[in-house]
Amino acid sequence: MQGVDPAWLPDEVFRPIGTRRTLVRGSGPLVDTVHEEVTRACARFGGRVERDAAPGPYDLVLEVTGTDGSEAFTCERADGRTNVTATGPSGLLYGLFHVVRLGEDAFREDLPRQTHAPALALRMLDHWDNVAVHPVMGQVERGYAGGSLFWADGRARGDLDRVRAYARLLASCGINAVAVNNVNVHETEARLLTDRIGEVAALAEVFRAYGIRTHLSVTFAAPLVLGGMDTADPLDARVRAWWARATAEVYAAIPDFGGYVVKADSEGQPGPFAYGRTHADGANMLAEALRPYGGTVHWRAFVYDHRQDWRDRSTDRARAAYDHFVPLDGEFADNAVLQVKHGPMDFQVREPVSPLIGAMPGTRLAVEVQATQEYTGQQRHVCWLGPMWSEVLRFPVQEGLPVGELARGGLVAVSNAGDDPYWTGHPLAQANLYTFGRLAWRPDADPSQILDEWIRLTFGTAAAAGLRAILDGSWRTYEKYTAPLGVGFMVQPGHHYGPAVDGYEYSPWGTYHFADRDGIGVDRSAATGTGFAAQYAKPWAEVYESPDTCPDELLLFFHHVPYGHVLHSGRTVIQHIYDTHFEGVEEAEEARRVWAGLGDVVDAERHARVAELFEEQVRSAREWRDQVNSYFFRKSGVPDERGRRIC
């Protein structure tokens, strides 16, 4: 599309295919998509493509041999020809994009036969988009890339070319499911389930061409809001019948509909608690309605008391998901997926892996991460999250099994895309969207290799060294100038941008650091604190229980310690706070300098956009440094041992 950045799929990456002779064999809509992609490349670069012809002197053969739902494909190069075969059309589509990633290497020398298959069956993006612009939440809740890709002026967009381009981007990195509206379902959005389902169907048709199933966030109170009923009790036969009828009409409009996403009894959203029922009761009611059609309900586990008394130190938001859901293990239907945030709090720059993951062997769990950078710079700061997500997915939370293997219900990310010409607002934030898709396909993949892949596809090779230097350590840089040693939520309330060390300290949302003149941190030990550490299986319960064994980066998440407590690094807590905040600013300034030097190898418009954002990042990093260091200097009275000026 004119005026829209192609992200990691510029025409140039199709040159190796577009200059050669290709045969596409097979039938069906996804094979048609593969053929269209190759045809476009050949028209651009002079090659030839044929459909279902007899074997001949082809450079590339893309062939589907069946019609099953497999997403796997096999790729090999032998006797001067590259062959991609799949038993299902989705596999052929992914095989095509695999060849695109290989580039000329797909055609230079023999490649051993390798089969590629996704480790997780569901790789999903949740869009927090509102159909009508909400007076508080805006068009996209926690969105930092402009308006919605799907909705404008209170209705579905008429021109869906941009949605098609987006579907193409998502398929190219392995994403196969999208929820198209906010988990906080307001009155207008609720109607997408019934009289406005045709608008969802139009989006689903576009996504279908790239193997992506469409999902819908629904309100648990739909029988009340839409059906005129006097109850939404999940055990009421009339309510179950209403959901069965509504779901049948959804599938009549969208035969391959993926299912529902539900946020219930959380942050004011309605749920089964109003009727004395459990989360399993609520989820199973919807699972029953979806089961005849192969649909799934994604029931979010983000449930906690957001009306806490800050004086009560026994209540711990971190405990909430485990306390609510572990007693229900084994009670959820097989087509109900419990969607769990990767950490026990709320997408902070550093928090431990949620102990709920692995603690419910009788329940299908999906792990949710946040690509939109709510607490990590809001796409005004460079913060590549690949290393964070990789640490989470590799973490052996239960009996040595990593999170990536325990997420049997899939991997889900809150989307960071919008109608901005660069898709993600900050052009470098595209790396997070791409990395999510590739890690969802293979959770044990090396994120550094994925980063190199994205840089090469998006920028070519000339800027590679500089971009790697900017992005590779950017998550830890952001952590340095914002959140020390596992402390989170020191942000401005509401919009969550910029420092406010006490912003949530006396808030009912339950996110505290408990800093006083003697020390800092939250005691979550079993011996003297909230007991959260004991929710973990061995050995992690023992590791987190004591400040002597707790990892430095999580110390203040689990323990309240004196400012003079000596870390494993050899520094005191207070000196670590001072040092890292100065280091973080210096690293942000260095990243800005490196980007400035890439002006000759990055297109002018994109370079100017990022340069402008770097000015804001450096300004904000200095503000974080000065406010955080000043706060803890005034609390502790301990000067910086290096004699730097702290206000």
Closest CA to 94 of 65, 110, 113, 70: 70
Contact 526, 545 (CB under 8 A): yes
Residues in the chain: 647
pLDDT for residue 1? 61
Residue the block writes with tokens 């670069």:
45
pLDDT for residue 506? 94
Question: How many Cβ atoms from other residues are within 10 Å of residue 603's Cβ?
Answer: 11
Model confidence pLDDT, tens digit, residues 393-435: 999 998 889 999 999 999 999 999 999 999 999 999 999 999 9
pLDDT for residue 170? 98
Measured CA to CA, the distance from residue 295 to residue 214 in angstroms comes to 11
pLDDT for residue 288? 98
Given the residues 374, 523, 545, 553, the one annotated as active site: 374
pLDDT for residue 573? 98
**Cα distances (angstroms) measured from residue 135 to each of 90, 186, 268, 539:** 40, 11, 17, 47
> Burial, 276: exposed, middle or buried (Cβ in 10 Å; 0-12, 13-18, 19+)?
exposed
Model confidence pLDDT, tens digit, residues 501-527: 999 999 999 889 999 999 999 999 999
Mark out the alpha helices in 518-603 (DSSP H runs): 540-545, 555-558, 573-596
| 519-520 vs 396-398, strand pairing mode | unpaired
Global pTM value:
0.98
Contacts of 525 (CB under 8 A, 6+ apart): 531, 533, 544, 545, 546, 558, 559
| 60-64 vs 21-25, strand pairing mode | parallel
Angle at 414 between CA 382 and CA 323, to 5 degrees: 115
Closest CA to 101 of 386, 618, 452, 354: 452
Given the residues 110, 187, 230, 267, the one annotated as active site: 267
pLDDT for residue 511? 83
Contact 209, 167 (CB under 8 A): yes
Residue the block writes with tokens 């450079």:
59
> Burial, 447: exposed, middle or buried (Cβ in 10 Å; 0-12, 13-18, 19+)?
buried
Catalytic residue status for 267: yes
Measured CA to CA, the distance from residue 458 to residue 423 in angstroms comes to 13
Residue type, 120: L
Token pair in block for residue 460: 């070519």
For the chain, the first-to-last Cα distance in angstroms comes to 50
Catalytic residue status for 346: yes
b/e map 169-194, b = 16+ CB within 10 Å:
bbbbbbbbbbbbbbbbbbebbbbbbe
Going from the first residue of the chain to its last (647 residues), give the mean pLDDT of each consecutive group of 10, the final group possibly shorter.
87 98 97 98 98 90 95 96 97 98 94 96 98 93 98 95 98 98 97 98 98 98 98 98 98 98 97 98 98 98 94 92 98 98 98 97 98 98 98 95 97 98 98 98 98 98 98 98 96 97 94 94 98 97 98 98 98 98 98 98 97 98 98 97 92
How much of the chain is helix, strand and coil, in % rounded to 5? 40, 15, 45
Measured CA to CA, the distance from residue 513 to residue 493 in angstroms comes to 15
Contact 261, 302 (CB under 8 A): no
| DSSP reduced 3-state for 338 | strand
Q: Domains of the chain by range and CATH?
A: 11-116 (3.30.379.10), 123-458 (3.20.20.80), 479-522+560-636 (3.90.1330.10)
Closest CA to 447 of 438, 459, 460: 438
Given the residues 316, 346, 453, 523, the one annotated as active site: 346
Measured CA to CA, the distance from residue 471 to residue 456 in angstroms comes to 13
